[in-house]
Amino acid sequence: MDPFWRHIVVAAAIFVVVSLVARLIDWSLQRRPLPPEAMTRYRIFRRTVTVIILVVGLFSALLAIPEVRVVAGGLLASSALLGVVIGFAAQRTLGNFVAGILIALAQPVRIGDRVEYEGAAGVVEEIGLTYTFIRDADRRRIVVPNEKLASDTIVNASIRGRETFAEVSVPVPLAADLEAALDALREDVADERDAQVYLSSLADSATVTVRAAAADGLAAEQLEHELRLRAHRRLRALGVWT
């Protein structure tokens, strides 16, 4: 085999082995059951370790090729200029990367937290190295650069703990017996923790708010779906809705 192609094969083999090692480390870290605050740190840590291993593996593979080593020597001679150029070209990406690490350490938000950002509410689904993904009530993803998330104001409803509230609003005609409707809905959620049913507004129609405690954001979403169905069923049976 030609020496050049032999070096290419060796370089490819090195990179494949390093990639497998990175996947194995990521898999072993991913298997560990962790609380929310530790899970957020570990998620960033896993990605950082994976990126570092892959970068080291790529350079190791390239340096296994003599022709590349010669070029690398010339590049190292001008590494200062190259570093300045790369720094200016990727300053936003590097800023997001550093912000991601700061978010993992300070944890203003954690995976699973219910948050409100720029008027949109949702659950933190993923915190990556450069972007954070927030899932809203319509299952859409709000993608926020980590640098912006770390510097802007964000409302976190579950920063002290994962427990939160499921809350739904139910319209009731003004001509209906509001006290009977409230009593029926209170009876329907009597078994829920910290349940509340109250008249929240009077306009073209009355608005009744039903809320109850939930273990976390995902449980709150599921409970909200159930509360809507139960309110609909109960009010139809009462004759409020026909």
pTM score, whole prediction: 0.48
Look at strands 120-127 and 164-172 and give their pairing.
Answer: unpaired
pLDDT, residue 197, reads 93
Q: What are phi and psi of 160, to 5 degrees?
A: -80, -25
Count other Cβ atoms within 10 Å, centred on residue 109: 23
Residue 176: closest CA among 202, 154, 147, 150: 202
pLDDT tens-digit profile, the chain (242 residues): 566 666 667 667 766 776 777 677 667 656 666 565 566 666 677 677 777 777 776 776 666 666 666 555 555 555 554 555 555 555 666 777 788 778 877 778 888 888 888 888 888 888 887 888 888 877 788 888 888 888 888 888 776 666 778 889 999 988 888 899 999 999 989 889 889 999 998 888 889 999 998 887 778 888 988 999 999 999 888 888 76
SS3 5: helix
What is the CA 238 to chain-centroid distance, rounded?
A: 41
* Partner residues linked to 127 by β-bridges: 132
137 — phi, psi (to 5°)? -65, -25
